[in-house]
Amino acid sequence: MNDDKVIVCEELTKQFGDFVAVNHISFDVRKGEIFGFLGANGAGKTTAMRILCGLSYPSSGKATVAGFDVYKQQESIKKNIGYMSQKFSLYENLTVTENIEFFGGVYGLSRPEIRKRSDRLVSKLGLTQEAKKLVGSLPLGWKQKLAFSVAIFHDPQIVFLDEPTGGVDPITRRQFWDMIYEAAATGITVFVTTHYMDEAEYCNRITVMVDGKVEALDTPGNLKARYQAASMDEVFYQLARGAKRSAD
Amino acid sequence: MRVLRFILKKEFRQIFRDKTILAMMLVMPTVQLIILPLAMNFDVKNVNVAVVDNDHSTWSQQLINKIGASGYFRIIAAAPSFREALGYIEREQADVVLEIPPGFERNLVRENEQHIGVSVDAINGTKAALGGSYLLAVIADFNQHIRLNEHGKYVPGKGVNIGITYSNWYNPLAEYRFYVVPAVMVLLLTLIAGFLSALNIVREKEMGTIEQINVTPIKKWQFILGKLIPFWVVGMVVFTLALTVARVVYGIWPVGSFALLYLFAAVYLVALLGFGLLVSTYTDSQLQAMFVAFFFVMIFMLMSGLFTAVDSMPGWAQDIAALTPVTHFVKVVRMVVLKGSTFADVQKEFCYLVAFAVVLNSWAIWNYRKTS
């Protein structure tokens, strides 16, 4: 296997009864890249991501994440990835530092290490004042930034972000992408789903999923050239227009 | 092990931050133990009697007086006819109608025999059955009394009875509270362990935090233990509190050993927490979990002999009763508290409870899926 490929997918399929949520998708993701996963609601992005995170069994096909098999080695995968779900999923009734401590702890970091990194993180996010506040009381934008920071707190090889900027204002979204770039610069591979096309432009390479299939996979520039489009928006319209599935 | 410590710290923080749960932990045992035993009074008192005296003789008057003076009955009306007396039952003013026929005294003297009518409102089964039998006991006593008076001397075959002397072992005054208070302690542990644990994991599902847990390398047993231990501690605290209240309010002090009681409470809690966890692995929302847990806890309660004797259930119902952990625990608590039973006496129950704990928890761990 190629060393710089951290995710390899071959003909990966997930079927729920008659419904094929993910239909024979194949792609690979290289180390350190920001890989965008685009698609309309219900296109199968989240399902595919959940398989890669070891949260869901595929129906058929092959895939490895960080060199581990998605059928048999989910627990090894989980040690090497970070995950931020669509739904905010830090504990609202714990404080900022308590959340950091908990997630750091379950990934096996030592107490002094957690304390050191936690202090650094809190001051970097500008949350020093709020460190002792319950996470539930923070504004959404701050919560999302915190959730992302917690997802990469244990220095995973890959971080999976499922629509991380949903419902967040443009300024915070911009800051969020700055954080993503920063993480990528330290060598963390970023796998991100989104349906904001401006965000797609920030990715190194993007995949467009339509009705469970990969319709296109390339850099934003190449895609725009191929579809003779001025923006990713147009590329997406051209590809997604034929979609049969209605949004869920 | 280190990971488990982080999980426990988080769980305890969340429990202690929830003021409602904390308050319930303290208030529930106290209030339930004070109120429920009063409500669950199995003694029947204040049975309302409507009397139809068609005889108006000295003896009929004596009988009525005797009933009124027994302490269990209240003569609420003297009706001129049975039909009217029945009206009192229909209006729920009377529980029993006692009808004394005309010629009561005359027949007793002449024929040495007389029937009287007792009609009982059987809607409240317990009150009817007990009230009716109390009344019969009073009448029988009266019967005995007049015969002896009449003959004034010993006549074989007449006026002779085998006298029965009761002695109530382990609860000398047959006081209901000795029966009910241990039951309420069991009820408390069942509610705390069964519901809190069921709701807790499901809440993580609802909030979406379980997904974040499932994507970490936490092992299944670590997660389940992390949920079990805090509620187990809470349960033990509640049990201690319940024992204290039983002592202070009712003066009930276990005759048997405390160590034995705590041992059983410890195992029982693990079993019931396992039940709660199991429910939570099968349900997706707190509402579902609540309904499912309620369904089972209800069956546990009613089948367990908490309120009624398991021995008087039909055979198949006794089999079901044996399949609920509550049955065994309530039996042991009563035996240890009232009778001072030792471990040797309750070995079988111990094995049952250990089996429940192992089966329910293994099932819960098996059914909890990190990857679906």
Answer yes or no: is pLDDT of B242 > 60. yes
Q: pLDDT tens, B340-356?
A: 888 888 899 999 999 99
- Bridge-based pairing of strands A189-194 and A19-30 is unpaired
B113: which residues sit within 8 A by CB, 6+ positions away?
A: B107
Flag residues of chain A having pLDDT under 50: 1-2, 248
User: What is the rounded distance in angstroms from the CA atom of residue B192 to the CA atom of residue B150?
Assistant: 63
Q: Which one, of A90, A61, A86, lies nearest residue A248 by Cα?
A: A86
Given an 8 Å threshold on Cβ–Cβ distance, is A105 in contact with B211? no
Contacts of A89 in chain B (CB under 8 A): 207-209, 211-212
Position of tokens 């993180």? Answer: A121
pLDDT at A1: 44
Structure tokens at B261: 């009681």
Question: Is B317 within 8 Å of B303 (Cβ atoms)?
Answer: yes
CATH class of B47-151: alpha beta
Answer yes or no: is pLDDT of B106 > 60. yes
Burial environment of residue B59 by CB neighbours within 10 A (0 to 12, 13 to 18, 19 or more) = middle
A/B interface, count of CB pairs below 8 Å: 81
Q: How much of chain A exceeds pLDDT 70, in percent? A: 96
Contacts of B10 in chain A (CB under 8 A): 91, 94, 98, 102
pTM of the model: 0.80
User: What is the rounded distance in angstroms from the CA atom of residue A169 to the CA atom of residue A139?
Assistant: 11
Local structure of A16: helix, strand or coil: strand
Local structure of B221: helix, strand or coil: helix
Q: pLDDT tens, B271-324?
A: 999 999 999 999 989 999 999 999 998 888 888 877 777 788 888 888 888 888
Structure tokens at A133: 């506040």
Residues 69-128 of A with CB under 8 A from B: 74-75, 78-79, 81, 83, 85, 87-94, 98, 101-103, 105-108
A225: which residues sit within 8 A by CB, 6+ positions away?
A: none
**Helix (H), strand (E) at residue A193:** strand A189-194
Contacts of A163 in chain B (CB under 8 A): none
Outline where chain B has alpha helix (H): 2-17, 19-39, 58-69, 82-90, 104-110, 125-151, 176-207, 209-214, 220-250, 258-282, 286-303, 315-322, 325-334, 347-367
Question: What ranges do the domains of chain B cover?
Answer: 2-40+175-367, 47-151
Local structure of B224: helix, strand or coil: helix
Q: pLDDT tens, B200-215?
A: 889 998 988 988 999 9
| Count of CB atoms situated within 10 Å of the CB of A51 | 27
Q: Please give the C-alpha separations between residue B291 and each of B186, B199, B268, B277, B297, in angstroms, as whole numbers.
A: 21, 11, 22, 14, 10
pLDDT at B107: 82
Of B5, B10, B214, the CB nearest to A94: B10
Sheet of A60-65: strand order equals: A19-30, A5-16, A60-65, A68-69
